[in-house]
Structure 1
């Protein structure tokens, strides 16, 4: 029940709103914190007598001080000194040990090396003012027991220290303090474990039995911590380079436009009127001294022989005049337009005689 209540408390702290996003650390920093320490019940045995007991842990407290380095990519490495204390009671064991209980406290202290990682939630599209982190650590810690045992007719006591390997898992979150660059509030949950040790005089048996070793089982601690962290290299990141703006090249209006005609026709199609309008508009955007309008036909004709060539010459002029009239309607001065008719001469596509070729039935508008 106590573990569940404490977990709910730290979850509320981590989920609490903040005013600014915590920064990714680059360079050196220090971190300190303190909070509630809950140690699980711990087994204790006396191998010489076979006596066993269970240390019922009560509330305690913890604190740490660490110094580390952030690599700027979320990864951090730190060295930590930690202290944790719990108050306890140990109830007597077996093999005829007298009724009674041991009361006192135990302390844990030592050093660990931690590897942590700050999680940038923005990369997941989550825009919240918090930077969570996770980590693991390993090192060495000592246990110091101060125990006092009441038994019928006397007392036993113990004050001994033993050490062993320690490891921990860390989960937490950091919040920047507005207006104080580099300073952040942290909330953390830590699961710290320490291997058991041998120490002290016998606990939980008669007062005249002295000198027996007592083994303590593995120690498991749940820690809920509030802290402050300060990063020394807290200069704001350089602004991003200005975006490279690609300016598309300006399109230069064309100087030659082709208007095509149906066979034996001089009237303008809707598409032909659009092209003439483009040419008229372009003449106002480019330097133009005159506009040439040259008409052409293919080498087919409504009439055979020389009469047909003469007919095509006239047809090419009619086509050129149709384009000129449309240019004038689109705002081009008539005095700026020169027209020519070339009949079957200068085809775009070479063909056999008397061949209907759409590409050759045209008027060229040339801006000069």
Structure 2
């Protein structure tokens, strides 16, 4: 089956015009008539992109418009894992080929749109050129060169009596990557929760719960080392009076498809979704209200009227009348 292909390749080499190079690659270029994608050398030979990012960009360009290109959707199509695909997407986003834009729909929902540009530098150049002031048309001369050659050709010096043209304002904000590049420092993952005291009963219950997960979700097949490493975290949940059914539902509900690293997923859920300890009876009791001292009512010994005073006696009017009478007698 291989002989006709080798013969065809050898025949094609003999039909190439001109001398062939002694070393290096030899291109046999056959024009495409259908099912092809144009890829620029700025992408194919990009010095700042990895080979995975370049290949992923070519794959995205070949997909029809409206195709899902999320991490999970691409992982289902390609042989690379989600971590490698996510890193390649971050590279493309950092160099302007990919951008995630959020749009608010009329019903209030927020939709994330993934936009891919096959030549981001040309897009920015066109936007900057669109805001430049229009010049008066020059007299007809020789046919104009293509746009690329016009940009590379030097402009004629401005006359001395005219002020130099001010730089054109830019109507766009600089492109800022929403996702940090792969070389950015990453925060260390939080440690697994640990119980205050890992008793033999807690360890046995946690080990049994982890070993039994594959009965409820066949993807959660854990090794003995994984169970030994995750058992203290499950013991911390049990120590906080969490029901085993609640823990099992938290670990098995809404699993990603396909699930490539069960132990990493369980470690993440056990760490991030750890519930707080149950409050005690004293914590649930209503706080005591401060007691307000109330001055009691007394009956005036002179006029029998009620007045507020800590001790029995006369009201204010009677005390004032008594003081006035004593002053007049004196």
Task: Please classify the TM superposition score into its range, dividing by the shorter chain length.
Answer: under 0.3
- Of structures 1 and 2, the one with the larger relative CO (CA 8 A, separation 6+) is 1
Task: Pick the structure with more strand per residue.
Answer: 1
More helix by share: 2
TM-score (normalised: structure 1)? 0.13
* TM-score, normalised by the number of residues in structure 2: 0.14
